[in-house]
Amino acid sequence: MTGSNDALDRILRMVAEGRLTAEEAAPIIDALQAAGSSAADAPSSSRRPAGDGGLPEGGRPRFTRIEVQEGGRQVVNLRVPLSLGRLALSRIPGLSAEQLADVEEAVALGAGGPILDVQDADGDGVRIVLE
């Protein structure tokens, strides 16, 4: 699995450097995740959409929107293919293991719309929306 993580890190670095677009990286990441998935993963037939939430036809989200606020001011508004968003999720600072698990569960169940909205008293926060 470590080799898979190294490959994912390289893909993310290429996107960050502008050598790949998020759309070009998405199928590569999907293939890497499929190759590294374990038998413990739930079969796709057991997953169900959790609601419309403005989802594309077919009912499953295809994109992840990540919004970050600092001091009440939006500093990040990023929309990426879902597979890239799932990979980047573990790299968002300040999210607890419980929050990460909740987001991963919502993605696995095919939920749509806002799935995480955390904000502190200083106006710092993270919002994740599946579209």
Q: Report DSSP state, residue 56.
A: P
- In this predicted structure, the answer to whether residue 75 has a pLDDT above a threshold of 60 is yes
| pLDDT at residue 45, rounded to an integer | 31
- In this predicted structure, the answer to whether residue 6 has a pLDDT above a threshold of 60 is yes
β partners of residue 97: none
- In this predicted structure, the answer to whether residue 83 has a pLDDT above a threshold of 70 is yes
Please tell me the pTM assigned to this model: 0.56
- In this predicted structure, the answer to whether residue 104 has a pLDDT above a threshold of 80 is yes
pLDDT category, 82, cuts 50, 70, 90? confident
